Structure 1
Amino acid sequence: MKKTILALMFSFLMLLTACGAGSSEAGYQKISQEEAKEMMDAGEVLILDVREQSEYDSGHIPGAVLLPVGSIDAETAANIIPETDTVVLVYCRSGNRSKKAAEALAELGYTGIYEFGGINTWPYEIEK
């Protein structure tokens, strides 16, 4: 009886652990804006703005490349991100579109995707 209870507890614990994995199961990782900024400052990353052109023109993170979420497919992604293991930091206005974009890129086979929310709460420099 004790072995059965122990086995059930172990199974339940494994289930909870798997459910808690969240965005890493979706193929991308959710990170804070502070972590994103550290990664930007440290080196080779591609910063991907997934808003629309007019939003990008009104202000974006320095060095960001525009790829609107609605236009992401295998061809458009490959044009901007030729290597599937490139570290890509994805953002939008508030965080909704960046999640969709990160999921789409992960489904296309990209493995270095990090989603960090929206520019609305970005406490660092932006350029116009």
Structure 2
Amino acid sequence: MTKMLKTPVTQVILKLLAAFLLAATFMNLASAKDKASGIFSGETLQHMQDNRDLKEKILVIDVRNKSEYKKGHLKFAIRRNDHALKHLDRDFINKYKNFPIVLISDRAKDAQKAFKILKKLDFKDVKIAQGYDEFKGYKLYTYTNILGDDVEKSVGKKDSLIIDVRAKKDYEAGHLKGAINIPLNDDMKPYLPILEQNKDKKFVVHCYTGTQSQVMSERLTKLGFKNVYNSLDGSLEYDFKFVK
């Protein structure tokens, strides 16, 4: 997701401008039919998921339960059911309350319930997408998407293996403690032994912006690894505590 700038007075102006531009982009992508029905079309949503720039313009929240999500979900969708939405931490609310959010489920009533919860929490721009049961053109994935703070919680945990897919020089300049480096364009074969040795752990994958880590996460699931977690936040967007 897009990194927030941190300069004083101009920061406020830039944030307001960024919020306006995001909202404008979000609204323009919706078709006239979408606007009339109040439903974000599956075709538009899938197009945004497939585009590395447009996927940064929205946060997709899958409101189904864990087992349903694990069977298949959108490429960059995080999971938050109604219970989790009711108990969002203040940092999440502050970061995303002005950011375009799209809710998705396979039951309209669940998406509507989530919509009401977010509106009550003062989220400004929330839409409901066509459900998985309505639009059959969604491409589905089985890894789990997480955010930067979830990645940091994995540091030092014995049940997690952090995989940094950035270029070797960037990894060597600074990385999360305990992370191994598997540059995205490298041949996977030399890394298979260490992956097999840790196959029962959570594979927590991150990169620069969440795009390369998604490719690696998909690759790992196709190799048969079950507990793969892709970070939507990359090192260019989230202030990770790197070591050398």
User: Is TM-score (shorter-chain normalized) higher than 0.5?
Assistant: yes
Taking structure 2 as the reference length, what is the TM-score of the superposition? Answer: 0.41
Residue 237 of structure 2 aligns to which amino acid in structure 1?
Answer: T
Q: From 145, 148, 154, give the equivalent of 1:33.
A: 148
Cα contact 1:60–1:119 (8 A) shared by 2: no
Q: Which has the higher helix share?
A: 1
The DSSP-based 3-state class of the residue aligned with 1:71 is coil
What's the CA shift for 1:32?
A: 0.9
Structure 1: how far apart are the matches of 2:144 and 2:230?
Answer: 6
Match of 1:48 in 2: 163
- For the pair 1:124 / 2:216, whether they are aligned, the reply is no
CA-atom RMSD, angstroms? 2.7
Q: From 198, 205, 216, give the equivalent of 1:101.
A: 216
The DSSP-based 3-state class of the residue aligned with 2:204 is strand
What's the CA shift for 1:79?
A: 2.1
Equivalent positions of 1:60-79 (< 5 A) are: 60-73=175-188, 75-79=189-193
Match of 1:57 in 2: 172
Q: 1:63 to 1:42 in 2, by over 3 A?
A: closer
Q: Percent identity?
A: 23
Structure having greater relative contact order (Cα 8 Å, sep ≥ 6)? 1
Taking structure 1 as the reference length, what is the TM-score of the superposition? Answer: 0.73
Structure 1: how far apart are the matches of 2:191 and 2:142?
Answer: 16
Match of 1:7 in 2: none
Match of 1:111 in 2: 226
In the TM superposition, structure 1's runs of 4+ consecutive aligned residues that sit over 6 Å from their partners are: none
Cα contact 1:72–1:104 (8 A) shared by 2: no
Gaps spanning 5+ residues in structure 1: where? Answer: 1-11
What's the CA shift for 1:43?
A: 4.0
